[in-house]
């Protein structure tokens, strides 16, 4: 009995897989148009800069670059003049 039940499950799985394929691929149209930005577009640059700062700098420097304000610096806190 278990042998027949296992065979029926395998056969059902194979049939379901075969019947799930459609001969015509269904391509869904995109609901929202893609944003077309050029590299020189200021909106693109601002979004990219904000994202990069948040990902790479914000952890140490704070969200608004205020994490190191008025602290003791290891090598001074003024710009060096060369």
53 lies in a domain?
yes
Q: What is the span of the domain harbouring residue 62?
A: 37-69
Give the C-alpha separation, 59 to 30, whole Å: 36
Residue 13 forms part of a structural domain: no
Domain membership flag for residue 11 = no
pLDDT in tens, 26-75: 667 666 666 666 666 777 778 888 888 888 888 777 777 776 666 666 66
Task: Specify burial of residue 18 (Cβ count, 10 A radius: 0-12, 13-18, 19+).
Answer: exposed
pLDDT at 81 over 60: no
Q: How much is the pLDDT for 56?
A: 86
In this structure, which long-range contacts are made by residues 1-7, counting pairs with CB atoms below 8 Å and at least 24 apart in sequence?
A: none
Residue 60 resides in a domain: yes
Residue 24 lies in a domain: no
Domains held by the chain: number: 1
54 lies in a domain? yes
**Domain-located, residue 42:** yes
36 phi/psi in degrees, rounded to 5: -105, 100
Global confidence as pTM: 0.34
pLDDT of residue 70: 62
Share of the chain above pLDDT 90, in %: 0
């Amino acid at each position: 009995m278990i042998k027949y039940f296992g065979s029926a499950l395998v056969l059902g799985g194979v049939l379901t897989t075969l019947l799930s394929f459609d001969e015509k691929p269904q391509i869904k149209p995109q609901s929202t148009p893609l944003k077309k930005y050029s590299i020189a577009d200021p909106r693109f640059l601002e979004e990219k800069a904000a994202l990069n700062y948040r990902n790479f700098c914000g952890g140490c420097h704070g969200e608004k670059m205020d994490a190191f304000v008025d602290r003791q610096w290891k090598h001074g806190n003024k710009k060096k003049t060369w």
